[in-house]
């Protein structure tokens, strides 16, 4: 059992066979009695650094996921107008695959997507009379969602600044 001597600032391993031996622990270097609950101090700087790294990683991943749908959908819209069907299918397929995976694992923030994505595909199909039009409709739904989220968060930020909330000057 590892115990820490506060006088020597060292940790020692004591073989303990019974609980009564915990009362009689003596430091082998300085001879000071060691408390039965003594533990080596935790390096708080390393712990904070680890927590900061985890937080920054989560922030980066959330930023990537927030921009992913809109950037892939913009590429799909450009591909539609340039008649690059393979790129259009790939970008739309990636967006829909990620959406379905998020929906499957419960991480989806676009809950109304199950209504608006098929609706956008149907409108795109009926307007352009093609599968490419359906892919365009899906991509436009993802872009509109991004624009609405940006407007919502912009207005929320203005409201919080107006009301004296976090970040108000």
Report pLDDT digits (tens) over 110-144: 778 788 889 999 999 999 899 999 999 999 998 99
Residue 77: pLDDT above 80? yes
Residue 59, in any domain of the structure: no
Using DSSP's 3-state secondary structure scheme, residue 12 falls into strand
Tally the domains of the chain. 1
Q: Is residue 26 assigned to a domain?
A: no
Q: Is the pLDDT of residue 62 over 80?
A: no
In a domain, 43, yes or no: no
Does 169 fall in a domain? Answer: no
- Burial letters 13-48, b for 16+ CB under 10 A, else e: eeeeeeeeeeeebebeeeeeebeeeeeeeeeeeeee
Task: Give the residue numbers spanning the domain of 127.
Answer: 65-163
**Above 90 in pLDDT, residue 158?**
no
In a domain, 3, yes or no: no
The answer to whether residue 95 sits within a structural domain is yes
Query: How many angstroms separate the CA atoms of 136 and 123, rounded?
Result: 10
Predicted confidence at residue 41, as pLDDT, reads 62
Whether 131 maps to a domain, the answer reads yes
SS3 of 70-96: HHHHHHHHHHHHCCCHHHHHHHHHHHH
- Check residues 101 and 133 and name the one with the higher pLDDT: 133
């Amino acid at each position: 059992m590892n115990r820490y001597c506060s006088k020597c600032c060292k940790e020692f391993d004591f073989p303990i066979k019974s609980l009564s031996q915990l009362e009689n622990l003596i430091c082998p270097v300085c001879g000071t009695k060691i408390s039965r609950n003594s533990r080596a101090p935790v390096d708080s700087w390393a712990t904070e650094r680890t927590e900061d790294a985890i937080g920054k990683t989560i922030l980066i991943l959330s930023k990537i996921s927030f921009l992913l749908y809109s950037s892939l959908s913009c590429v799909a819209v450009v591909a539609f107008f340039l008649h690059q069907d393979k790129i259009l299918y790939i970008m739309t397929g990636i967006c829909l695959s990620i959406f379905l995976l998020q929906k499957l694992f419960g991480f989806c923030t676009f809950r109304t997507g199950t209504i608006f994505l098929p609706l956008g595909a149907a409108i795109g199909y009926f307007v352009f009379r093609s599968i490419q039009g359906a892919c365009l409709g899906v991509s436009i739904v993802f872009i509109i969602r991004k624009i609405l989220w940006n407007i919502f968060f912009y207005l929320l930020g203005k409201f919080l600044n107006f009301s004296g909330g976090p970040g108000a000057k």
